[in-house]
Amino acid sequence: MTATSLYGWGDPGQVPELPQAILDALGVRGPPPRVEIDLPAPRLPVAAVQELAAICEIRSDEESRLRRTRGKSTTDLLRMRAGDPVGVPDHIALPASHDEVLALLSVCSENGIAVVPFGGGTSVVGGLEPHAETFLALDTQRMDALLELDEESRTARLQPGLRGPQAEALLGERGYTIGHFPQSFEYATLGGFAAARSSGQASAGYGRFDELVLALEVATPAGTLSLGRAPKAATGPDLRQLLLGSEGAFGVITSLTVQIRPAPAVRVYEGWRFASFEDGAASVRRLTQDGPRPTVLRLSDEAETAIGLAQPGEIGSGGAGSLAIVGFEGAAAEVEERQAAVAGLLKEAGAEFVPGAGGSWARDRYRGPYLRDALLDAGALADTLETATFWSSLPALYERVSSALRDSLAGQGTPPVVLCHLSHVYPAGASLYFTVACAQAEDPVAQWRAAKEAAGQAILAAGGSISHHHGIGRDHLAFYEREVGPLAIDALRAVKKRLDPAGILNPGILLPS
């Protein structure tokens, strides 16, 4: 796989050239200067590093350290481009087994060394920048095996360092799939999917990743957790849920057992256009609640539809309606039956079939972050945020967050383009995924943080959740505390104290330091 860019999302060769019309429409003034990072020398105690090196390979070269610096949020990338050295790990550990991870955590706990579990490095919420001046990045890339495949139960036990394409290739050789394809699929790891409660683009059909995880083995400074002896049980609270979404703050996932399915014989994606976002949401809700439910079900608002259906070089303006992407995966006969039934319902609702739209979405489904790279390169600001709520609260949430983003950025002298789509759907509700672009202000990091603060306030005021699938990290920490309340935070602190007595695991992530 091509080495990922230090200053962008993934393969630098995939970054598109932007038509000048787009930059003019956003009021972009030109590309900002780029500053090389002046790395400080590693500062961990020499004796402790020697102990760690006796367990597994330890790297401290500049390239290895930079490649594990922070994540891939817009503010992470802006800071990389500005030469900000904060958040650079001192050393990189590359364990190859559960026992090696246990041994590493023991040494680090004894020496008070902060540890950041590192998979694909795709966090977009500050999840890889601990509240620590010095730390060790624990990279799981060598833990990349398919350990067991139980065809009778249709489960697979895999190691956490497998990236999405690697896992699908290993399972595909045996005729199976996990069915988890988030936008980060090409670079994120299975351990990261679990630790951040990832949700894939085909979640309507396959479910969220946390719903697919049946068992976990976790290394903690206090010892090993082995969770999940059956798909479901009544043996007290399901402790798997304590680790799913824990973002490396409680332990390091060293293997996970997931539900798998036969690889689909057929994959078909279609585009259907509604007169309005409101009309489309009503039909999407009907399909989700009453069926037949597609495997992929997404709906863009009018602004996102206009841009998505524009010709190259155009911005798009009104009149495009609201585009739904409807996908079907499975056996040929079953796909044909569902496809026909859904088409009938959509036509009854007044939707219009859009030739080629489904295929275009499938072709470009992982391209969004590269468009962001191109905008950042040109001097624009571009980022995303997401939330979720119940269907009855969705219209108010959509309006409040959209208005908060527009008001905040326009108030800073950089009026934005704000796009949105329903990205994941459930019988009781859905998630909203916002994309924002505008010209960069003099301090773009502060500019975007102010906009996200305004959006976070709007999300909580409208009854939404501060994150549906991006996670908490550092960026959402204050809003997370407000969402769940102090008693819940205290309960999680007690868990962390028991599993991580010295507080070395990802300090300041998920829970305040």
What local confidence, expressed as pLDDT, does residue 1 receive?
A: 52
Comparing CA positions, the residue from 463, 311, 323, 475 lying closest to residue 385 is 475
**How far is CA 433 from its chain centroid?**
12
| Residue ranges, the chain, pLDDT below 50 | 311-318
What is the C-alpha end-to-end distance of the chain, expressed in Å? 36
* β pairing state of 252-259 and 155-158: antiparallel
Comparing CA positions, the residue from 195, 194, 212, 192 lying closest to residue 203 is 212
For residues 84, 77, 192 and 117, what is the CA-based torsion angle, rounded to 10 degrees? -10
- The neighbour count for residue 289, using CB atoms within 10 Å, is 13
In angstroms, the CA 160 to CA 220 distance is 15
Q: Which residue has the tokens 């608002």?
A: 301
DSSP at 163: B
What local confidence, expressed as pLDDT, does residue 513 receive?
A: 79
In angstroms, the CA 158 to CA 153 distance is 15
* 449-469 confidence digits (pLDDT tens): 999 999 999 999 999 999 999
The boundaries of every CATH 3.30.70.3450 domain in the chain are: 266-364
To which H or E segment does residue 248 belong?
Answer: none
CATH code for the structural domain at 266-364: 3.30.70.3450
Q: Which residue has the tokens 């672009």?
A: 437
- The neighbour count for residue 317, using CB atoms within 10 Å, is 11
Bin 304: left if φ > 0, else alpha if -120 < ψ < 50, else beta: alpha
DSSP at 13: G
What local confidence, expressed as pLDDT, does residue 4 receive?
A: 82
In angstroms, the CA 142 to CA 462 distance is 44
- The neighbour count for residue 128, using CB atoms within 10 Å, is 28
Of 3.30.43.10, 3.40.50.300, 3.40.1440.10, 3.40.50.800, the CATH number of 12-139 is 3.30.43.10
Q: What 3-state DSSP class applies to 298? A: strand
The boundaries of every CATH 3.30.43.10 domain in the chain are: 12-139
Q: What totals of helices (H) and strands (E) does the chain contain, helices first?
A: 19, 18
Per the structure block, which two tokens stand in for 189? 């790891």
DSSP collapsed to 3 states, 358-372: HHHHHHHCCCHHHHH
* 194-246 confidence digits (pLDDT tens): 999 999 999 999 999 999 999 999 999 999 999 999 999 999 999 999 999 99
Cβ-Cβ contacts under 8 Å for 218 (sequence gap 6 or more) = 224, 225, 226, 227, 243, 250, 251, 252, 253, 254
What local confidence, expressed as pLDDT, does residue 320 receive?
A: 82
For the entire predicted model, the pTM comes to 0.96
Q: Answer whether 425's CB lies under 8 Å from 433's CB.
A: no
Helices (H), 275-367: 277-290, 302-308, 332-348, 357-364
What local confidence, expressed as pLDDT, does residue 319 receive?
A: 59
DSSP collapsed to 3 states, 364-403: HCCCHHHHHHHHHHHCEEEEEEEEEEEHHHHHHHHHHHHH
What local confidence, expressed as pLDDT, does residue 2 receive?
A: 58
* β pairing state of 91-94 and 135-139: parallel
* Residue 305 amino acid letter: T
Cβ-Cβ contacts under 8 Å for 488 (sequence gap 6 or more) = none
In angstroms, the CA 78 to CA 31 distance is 12
Q: What 3-state DSSP class applies to 334? A: helix
Q: What 3-state DSSP class applies to 194? A: helix
* 108-151 confidence digits (pLDDT tens): 999 999 999 999 999 999 999 999 999 999 999 999 999 999 99
